[in-house]
Every structure is written in structure tokens, then in C-alpha cells.
Chains A and B, each alone.
Chain A
């Protein structure tokens, strides 16, 4: 048998082995296991603030760790920094390229980043008298879909070139490149302990990576279309994904498999974004049908909906203190709900 044939056979055998190992631990699923848990209350949140200022579709938003400031990115070519308590704009950062797809706030509050169809991640210092570009991270060969700071010296990016990368912000170079997806990487989420992250891609797979050594540790399958959104549960042991296949799924990391699927026959719009409440019990998922649906993460039931946008909900975010949820939309507005 040729070497290629032999390897193909081994690959198939390994895939069968993995499926069997997953089945062997599948003694229940999350919803059945949660039968005895009291249902989450029906969640009725009100719009407390509507942030107006962008002149085109909003593509991304990210909360500062101070629970008050947030950054939003729009294809009007601007990043806006908002004081969510007053609703005022604190800063406006003009972008060299208006085709922005992501933005991020550093945990320190000193830096923000943006990127998109320019294939670059640009980092800005908010604390200098005039906002300055401190680095242009240029090495991806595809669009920048998501960026997340680990600190003021390191940032993680995901790209349409199918890779993710960890960058050193002092040198502007990639320290580690994460290679394994076979489709555009669309989203990423850092684990609470910052030692690993998960990525979702157009190959309909989610992958768990070691931040330091670049190893792909686990691969989660089940979705039948692009994964647009991904987030760790605050406990760090499970992840939630949202997909163009109109469902969200929870994958448990230690059981290495899908444990619950959040779907509804009436829902036939793709999921664009998602965020979790601080206990992990509530999932806020933004959809193409202009709504944000609220799911009980343990029982798999819909417990509420945020309606109010006049176009696709493109981004959602819950601040660290969990006091509200923010939705951003192609209608150019951000809304704060609680």
C-alpha cells in the first residue's frame, strides 16, 4: 500500500476511535441532566440607552474592563468610545480603512484595536494627548475577523486566511501562528485563565488551542455551516458557538463533545454574535432576523427576546460585572438593556 493510502486509512481509524471515545462518555446530555434544575425566569429586559452616532452599519463592539466604557466599530470608518452610563461619546478614532470587522479594548483600558478587510490589526493608544496609532500588525493574508488583547503587550487575532495568531505588540511580529482550520476563521474567545482560546471558522468547526505552544488541542464538530460567534462559559469548562446554520451549541471541553443545541423550528436566521451573563446561565444570541434571543444555557429553552433593532444584530457584549447586555446593529445603533 502506498504511503498516502496508509495514512488515509490511519486517519479514518483515528476518527472512528475519537467518535467511539466520545460516545463512551455520552451517558446523558445537558438538557436531560438539567431536568431537576429550576427553570430560568422569563427574562424581560428594557432598552436603557440607545447610542446614536455611527453613520453606517456597526460590525463590532467590546466592553472595557471598567464596565463603563465601550468601543464600537462601524463601516462609516470610525471607532467610537462611549461612556455607557451617560450615553456620551468620549473619543472618535478615524480608521485608515473603513472596512472594519472587529474591535477590541485592552484590559488595561490604555489601548484599542481594530481590523477588517485591510488584513491588518491596528492598535491605538487612547491615553496619549492625541490618540496615536502605536502598531500596524501586518502579516495575515486574509481579512481580520476578530482581535482580543491578552495585555498591553500581546494580542490574539483570527483571520480569513484560516489562521489565528498571537502577536508581540512591542515588536509588531507574530509570536505564534495557529494552523489547523481549513476555512476562514471568524471568531475567537480567550479562556478565563488566558492559557487557551477557542476559534470558530467557516469549516463549521470550533478548535481549542494552547496560547503558548500553538497546539490545537481539541476539535468540536456538529455545526453544518460557518461558526460566526464563540464564547467560553465563565467556568472555563465549556464553550458556546453560534452559526449560520441558525443554531447555537454548547460543547463541553472535558467531555470533548456537543452537549446541547439551542434551536427553534421558527428560527431560520443565522446567528451573528453571542454573549453570556456572568453565571453562564443566560446566552444572548444576535440573529440576522434583527432580534437577540435569550436562551437558558442549561435547559436549552428560549427565555426571552430583545427586539428593537431595525436591522441585523451584528454584535453583543456583556461587561465583566454583568450589569447589562449591549447589542449593536446594522441599523447603526447600539442599545444597552437590563
Chain B
């Protein structure tokens, strides 16, 4: 019956909301500080931030010099 399946669906919605309501939440200021720390700590190893030098850039077509 569509009536009882609606009730089953609604029970699941309530169950899910109960679960989500019960989690612990951290302050945004703390979460932000930790994210900033992560980004800054890893900045020097981030090639797209620091730039890739042409000699070590695997995507740059290498020009080959040969002696004739």
C-alpha cells in the first residue's frame, strides 16, 4: 500500500536525520587554521604553486642537440 511505504520512507528520513544530528562538530576557526597549516606546509612541494623549471618539466618538448 502506498500509505505504508510512505511511512517506511519517512522512518528512514527521521533515522538518517537523527544520525546526522548526533555528530560532533569542530569550530570553523579551528578547522580553518588546520587547513591553512596543511596548505602552507605543502606549498613548497606543490609544483603548480611554485612553478616548474623548464629543465625539469617532463611536458616540455626537449630539444635534442647532436654533433654533426
Chain A residues engaging chain B, CB cutoff 8 angstroms: 3-4, 7-8, 10-11, 14-15, 17-18, 21-22, 24-30, 33-34, 37, 40-41, 43, 45, 48-49, 68, 84-85, 180, 215-219, 233-235, 237-238, 252, 254-257, 259, 277-282, 297-298, 318, 321-325, 336, 338
Contacts and interface: CB of A to CB of B under 8 A. Distances in A.
Contacts of A254: 25-26, 31
Nearest to A41: B49
A27 B46 contact: no
Given A3-B7, A15-B17, A279-B39, A338 B59 contact: yes
Given A218-B23, A280-B42, A338-B57, A33 B29 contact: yes
Tell me whether chain A's interface is mostly helix, strand or loop, or mixed.
Answer: loop
Interface residues of B, number: 40
Interface string B19-36: 111010111110111111
Given A3-B7, A37-B36, A255-B27, 8 more contacts: A21-B25, A68-B58, A237-B35, A252-B26, A282-B48, A322-B46, A322-B47, A325-B48
Interface of B: 6-7, 10-11, 13-14, 16-21, 23, 25-29, 31-36, 38-43, 45-49, 52, 57-60
Given A25-B26, A255-B28, A323-B58, A4 B39 contact: no
B48 A338 contact: yes
A127 to B, nearest CB: 23
A95 to B, nearest CB: 28
